[in-house]
Amino acid sequence: MASEPSVRRGDILLAYATLSPAAALLILLAAVPSVFVVMIAFQHIEIGELSGRFVGFQNFLWVLNSREFYAGLWNSFVWVFGSVALEMLIGTALALLLNRAFALRGVARAFVLAPYLIPTVVAVLTWRFMFHDLVGIVNFLLIDSGLTDSPVLWLSDRRYAMLAVIIVGVWKFLPFVVIAILGILQSIPNEQYEAAQIDGASGWQQFWRITLPYILPVFVLTALLRTIWSFNKFDIIFLLTGGGPLNSTTTIPLLIYQKAFDDFDMSRAAAIAVVAFLVMGVLMTFYLLAMKRSEQNQ
Amino acid sequence: MSFAASTGAEQRSMIDVHHLAGRIMVYLLAFTAASVMGFPLVWMLICSFKPPAELIMSPPTFLPHEWTLANYRDLFVQTRFMSYFANSLIVASGSTAFSLVIGGLGAYSVSRFNIRATRLFSRFSLIAYMLPEVLLVIPLYFFLVKAGLADTLLALIIANTAFTLPLTIWFMRAYFAAIPVTLEESAMIDGCTRLQALWKVVVPLAVPGLISVGVFAFNSAWNDFLFALVFTSSERNKTLPLGLSTWIGQDYIYSWGMLLAAAVLITLPVLAFYLLVQRKLIAGLAEGGVKGG
Amino acid sequence: MASVHVSNIVKRFGAETIIPGLDLEVRDGEFLVLLGPSGCGKSTLLRMIAGLEVPTSGRIAISGRDVTHMQPKDRDIAMVFQNYALYPHLTIYENIAFPLRVRGMRGAQVDEKVRWAASLVQIENLLDRKPRQTSGGQRQRTALARSLVRDPSVFLLDEPLSNLDAKLRHSAREELRTFQEKVGLTSIYVTHDQVEAMGLGDRIVIMNGGVIRQIGTPEQIYHEPADSFVATFIGSPPMNLVPQGDRQVGFRPENFVPKSQTPAGADVLDVEFRPHRVEFLGSDCLIYGMVGNPFEPAAAVSRIPSTMAFSFERDAAMPFAVETRHVRQFDLKTGLAIGSGAGIDG
């Protein structure tokens, strides 16, 4: 009862009154559209129209039989697991590093954090510039150091496009992991390490037995969050490659966009969205369960 | 690492060397990390001062052979950069203001009243935050066309407010919860109604938190791309990210210089704000991110 | 007449009944202490009187007015919280002025009252500081000044001393009581510390499980406990309770002394005692051991002045005694006192 006042009669009114603008906004712009998308997925909508006739599961059958869809799903998985794995590993390592005290640590942190704060457009622009086959610095460094002979067409060669996209994604979003892990690292009470030192534990043992178990819940949560967000990410890939070359980087969000706003095939776009959301729903349940468990532990 | 055979002085110097090696590693790694992460931005900054001709030289130069502000000048003179900037400013400010007020009231409700409605709302808003934007823009597009709000900045303000709402409410709720209820109760005994207590006592104490949340909301709206892409179509209403993207969407880019200059100018407010609220932002993000924002 | 009448108050939180039904009368000008363990309902009762909680049923009247459903601000009360609830963003001056400004007072009027209140608790030199720049004792006095400035009818205090360290608590207690006597405010004070309660209260209300166990002056509560809960809650160490048949026999440690020390000719109950351990506490000694004849073996404590010579052989039986006028009896099942004229209403 420590932080909640008891509810009086007039208070209930106030509770509703202060909550309603936010609730209204979310219902209007999140709940209603979601329902609407599901509805559209069951219809056939002509180009230029806003609604159409009911066609049952036709669109869904199309999705499940569509090569585009499975290609998109595959690209999504490669993108998500590739970038999230790297983000978690490198991010956690950096967090451990930045948790130690050293001179100019604040400066180092500021640099590490910066990519997360800048607009995606700027990130894309900069990397495009750097990835440019002729005038880009990346190729220059690769050739100059002897790692390759000829310029790599990062964004126009389907062998490398996804890799380029993952590199940019990891660069942009690993600061989030750093922040999350750093936050939990800083809350580990020093006494635990001191007690371990007295007991004779080595640095490695301390890491294994104190640090790791402590950060594990946050690690898992962060990984789940990044997975969900990466899966939904649209702008970074769209701006880097537009989905190409030859749809090699067309993930599900881009596929949905193409179907809806390039082909004007709203109903199929909606169907894809629903199916993809169900796939994500599985991930989300894991997330909610893990969150409940970690809340109980706290 | 056996100390058995060493003397005291030798032992101390062995430990010192061990420590020294360790510390050197730390500095080395930290330097590498900061460089790799920061290089693209620094590179962007440096290159923005190179004349256009130098930018398309292959192999590229490092430091500018010729420092120039031509790109910046061209940006303002030849493009609608100022217009984009103004639009972005309007959208970001508007949605920040709305976020703080609507989100603040909602956060107050959720943090002070533990009734079924507030609990439901919390859970629901978390789910809303997980929904893919690309899924929601389709019907939102329909709605806006019907409501006559297509291609307006107001649509962007509303959309941005709604989508940062779960996260802003999450942060602000934590800030409100940190203020003891006894302060409000004391104010109520001293003669305030509940709302007066909120205004006179809680809000002034929550200001540092509110600033962090405001910065976050501003950033979010400033950087938004998808909503601008789908909801606006005319040149007149373009925001910075959208305007910039149309340029880089072209396959063969001649005007790298102006693009880089634009990129630098877009990033400056963001970094300025960041420096302003650095520490609180990290703490807030860590908590909010972990707890489901 | 600033009296408080609580009639038939019931408080339920969802399915849980915190207070099943309670009546209380607080007299004008008295310092009443609500005493009991955590969770006994004393804070809840205080908050209902303050208006921060609404009773599920029942009636509360202050100075004859029915305030049961009134907002706190209309009840003409003042309250000091455990953490003092000083507004961190305001100076001490503004903290004290807050209740006045909220009611629309301005300028010189406010200034006059603030300085008057500040002088009563002697913090005139702190007015420009912020709460975080003051000590715990100074904050308590600021809270008092803020309460006083409105000239309320009733003064409510929710464990205001528990955040102070032990040394400070003693002098703060003294200041508090002096302050209250000077001003003559009807005060209701909540605490779980029985020493504090005994030292401060004109009357003490002992609560447990949402029910009033006894109301009385400190002497009444100490010497005539109404049930075994009160008997063991008050007094440190608590009253010795020894089962005998269908009742419990009670006697306080200071009344349980070696037989040789009891006054000649007094009516005593002889008790065999096997001392196990002695604690030297300075002015007193505590003797821990087991009683025997006429009781079944049971643990008990005796308290004797250090000036009393005492030697013992561990666990060897010694003759102890209690004057019969100090012996209490309690029903084994209900815990209620038997005989001795002890009652619920003081």
Contact A144 B166 (CB under 8 A): no
**In angstroms, rounded to a whole number, what is the distance separating the alpha carbons of residues A221 and C330?**
59
Q: Look-up: residue for tokens 């049961």?
A: C68
Residue C217: which CATH number?
3.40.50.300
Q: Look-up: residue for tokens 């349980």?
A: C256
Does residue C146 share a domain with residue C284? no
**In angstroms, rounded to a whole number, what is the distance separating the alpha carbons of residues A9 and B107?**
20
The Cα of C287 is separated from the nearest Cα of chain B by a number of Å equal to 45
Contact C52 A9 (CB under 8 A): no
In angstroms, what CA-CA distances link B235 with B138, B157, B244?
A: 21, 17, 12
Touching partners of A (3+ C-beta pairs < 8 Å): B, C
Would residue C100 count as lying in a domain?
yes
- Which comes out higher in pLDDT, residue A217 or C110? C110
Q: Look-up: residue for tokens 């807030």?
A: B284
Q: What is the mean pLDDT of residues C323-346?
A: 73
The 10s digit of each residue's pLDDT in A222-275 is 888 898 889 989 989 998 888 878 888 999 999 999 988 888 888 888 899 888
Q: What is the pLDDT of residue B283?
A: 57
Q: What is the pLDDT of residue C190?
A: 95
The Cα of A248 is separated from the nearest Cα of chain B by a number of Å equal to 17
Residues 206-245 of A with CB under 8 A from B: 218, 221-222, 225, 228, 231-232, 234-235, 239, 242
> C182 is written with which tokens?
């000077």
Where residue C220 falls among pLDDT bands split at 50, 70, 90? very high
| C229 pLDDT more than 60 | yes
Q: Is A9 on the interface with B (CB under 8 A)?
A: no
**In angstroms, rounded to a whole number, what is the distance separating the alpha carbons of residues C345 and A189?**
52
Query: For residue C251, what are the domain limits?
Result: 243-335
Among C192, B143, B288, C226, which Cα is nearest to A221's? B288
Q: Are strands C186-191 and C31-35 parallel, antiparallel or unpaired?
A: parallel
Q: Is B188 on the interface with C (CB under 8 A)?
A: yes
Touching partners of B (3+ C-beta pairs < 8 Å): A, C
**In angstroms, rounded to a whole number, what is the distance separating the alpha carbons of residues A118 and B6?**
54
Run of H or E including C24: strand C16-26
Does residue C114 share a domain with residue C206? yes
The Cα of A20 is separated from the nearest Cα of chain C by a number of Å equal to 24
Give the global pTM.
0.75
Percent of chain A with pLDDT over 90: 19
**Smallest CA–CA distance from A242 into chain B, residue:** B249
Q: Is B114 on the interface with C (CB under 8 A)?
A: no
Q: What is the pLDDT of residue B291?
A: 36
Question: How many helices and strands in chain B, by DSSP H and E?
Answer: 14, 0
> Concatenated DSSP letters for B167-203?
HHHHHHHHHHHTS-HHHHHHHHHHT--HHHHIIIIIH
Residue C74, helix vs strand vs coil = helix
Instruction: Name the CA dihedral angle for C64, C70, C73, C77, rounded to a multiple of 10 degrees.
Output: 30
Name which CATH class applies to B70-290: mainly alpha
Does residue C255 share a domain with residue C216? no
Contact C52 A5 (CB under 8 A): yes
Q: Is C54 on the interface with B (CB under 8 A)?
A: no
Q: Are strands C284-291 and C298-305 parallel, antiparallel or unpaired?
A: antiparallel
| A171 pLDDT more than 90 | yes
| A8 pLDDT more than 70 | no
Q: Is C266 on the interface with A (CB under 8 A)?
A: no
- Which comes out higher in pLDDT, residue B234 or C238? C238
Backbone angles phi, psi at B61, to 5 degrees: -90, 160
Q: For chain B, which ranges sit under pLDDT 70? A: 1-17, 248-254, 278-293
Q: On the CB side of C157, how many CA atoms lie within 13 Å of its CA?
A: 32
The 10s digit of each residue's pLDDT in C141-160 is 899 899 888 888 899 999 98
Contact B193 C73 (CB under 8 A): yes
**In angstroms, rounded to a whole number, what is the distance separating the alpha carbons of residues A30 and B112?**
25
CB pairs < 8 Å spanning A and C: 8
Residue type, C251: F
**In angstroms, rounded to a whole number, what is the distance separating the alpha carbons of residues B100 and C255?**
68
Contact B112 A269 (CB under 8 A): no
> Concatenated DSSP letters for C107-141?
HHHHHHHHHHHHHHTT-GGGTTS-GGGS-HHHHHH
Residue type, A293: R
**In angstroms, rounded to a whole number, what is the distance separating the alpha carbons of residues C145 and A30?**
51
Number of residues in chain A: 298
Does residue C48 share a domain with residue C188? yes
Q: Is B202 on the interface with C (CB under 8 A)?
A: no
Q: What is the pLDDT of residue A3?
A: 41
Q: Mean pLDDT across chain A, nearest whole number?
A: 84
The 10s digit of each residue's pLDDT in C241-299 is 999 888 899 999 999 999 888 888 888 888 999 999 999 999 999 999 999 888 889 99
Set of chain C residues whose Cβ sits within 8 Å of the Cβ of A5: 52
Q: What is the pLDDT of residue C287?
A: 93
Contact B274 A113 (CB under 8 A): yes
| C23 pLDDT more than 90 | yes
**Smallest CA–CA distance from A7 into chain C, residue:** C53
- Residues 6+ positions from C79 with CB-CB distance below 8 Å: B185, B186, B189, C50, C147, C155, C156, C157, C158
**In angstroms, rounded to a whole number, what is the distance separating the alpha carbons of residues C32 and C44?**
16
Domain closes at, from C223, C256, C288: C223
Facing residue for A130 by CB, picked from B40, B106, B165: B40
Set of chain A residues whose Cβ sits within 8 Å of the Cβ of C47: 6
CB pairs < 8 Å spanning B and C: 55
Contact A26 B165 (CB under 8 A): yes
The 10s digit of each residue's pLDDT in A70-85 is 999 999 999 999 999 9
Does residue C253 share a domain with residue C131? no
Residue C288, helix vs strand vs coil = strand
**In angstroms, rounded to a whole number, what is the distance separating the alpha carbons of residues B176 and B202?**
7
Does residue C258 share a domain with residue C140? no
> C122 is written with which tokens?
């002697």
Q: What is the pLDDT of residue B2?
A: 42
CB atoms within 10 A of CB C136: 14
Sheet order of strands, C247-251 included: C240-244, C247-251, C328-331, C337-338
> B108 is written with which tokens?
């107050």
Run of H or E including B160: helix B153-177
CB atoms within 10 A of CB A161: 23
The Cα of B164 is separated from the nearest Cα of chain A by a number of Å equal to 10
Say if residues C81 and C103 touch (Cβ distance below 8 Å): no
Residue C300, helix vs strand vs coil = strand
Where residue C206 falls among pLDDT bands split at 50, 70, 90? very high
Would residue C346 count as lying in a domain?
no
Count of domains in chain C?
2
Does residue C279 share a domain with residue C196? no
> B81 is written with which tokens?
């950069």
Q: What ipTM was assigned to the predicted interfaces of this complex?
A: 0.78
Gyration radius from chain A CA atoms? 24
Residue C321: which CATH number?
2.40.50.140
Q: What is the pLDDT of residue B281?
A: 54
Q: What is the pLDDT of residue C136?
A: 82
The Cα of B121 is separated from the nearest Cα of chain C by a number of Å equal to 21
Residue type, C297: P
Contact C53 A6 (CB under 8 A): yes
Among B178, B179, B274, B290, which Cα is nearest to A187's? B290
Contact A273 B132 (CB under 8 A): yes
Q: Mean pLDDT across chain C, nearest whole number?
A: 88
Among B70, B71, B46, which Cα is nearest to B60's? B46
Facing residue for C102 by CB, picked from B180, B190, B205: B190
Which of B3, B23, B28, B37 is best to mutate for the A interface (most A CBs within 10 A)?
B37
Say if residues B240 and B189 touch (Cβ distance below 8 Å): no
Does residue C135 share a domain with residue C30? yes
| C162 pLDDT more than 80 | yes
Q: Is the dihedral of CA A107, A111, A112, A115 positive or negative?
A: positive
Q: Is A199 on the interface with B (CB under 8 A)?
A: no
Say if residues C33 and C191 touch (Cβ distance below 8 Å): yes
Does residue C207 share a domain with residue C279? no
The Cα of C84 is separated from the nearest Cα of chain B by a number of Å equal to 8
Does residue C160 share a domain with residue C61? yes
Set of chain A residues whose Cβ sits within 8 Å of the Cβ of C46: none
Contact A176 B285 (CB under 8 A): yes
What CATH number is given for A65-297 in this structure?
1.10.3720.10
Q: What is the pLDDT of residue C240?
A: 92
Set of chain B residues whose Cβ sits within 8 Å of the Cβ of A107: 34
Write out chain A in H/E/C secondary structure.
Answer: CCCCCCCCHHHHHHHHHHHHHHHHHHHHHHHHHHHHHHHHHCEECCCCCCCCEECCCHHHHHHHCCHHHHHHHHHHHHHHHHHHHHHHHHHHHHHHHHHCCCCCHHHHHHHHHHHHHCCHHHHHHHHHHHHCCCCCHHHHHHHHCCCCCCCCCCCCCCCCHHHHHHHHHHHHHHHHHHHHHHHHHCCCCHHHHHHHHHCCCCHHHHHHHHHHHHHHHHHHHHHHHHHHHHHHCCHHHHHHCCCCCCCCCCCHHHHHHHHHHHCCCHHHHHHHHHHHHHHHHHHHHHHHHHHHHHHHHC
Run of H or E including C163: none
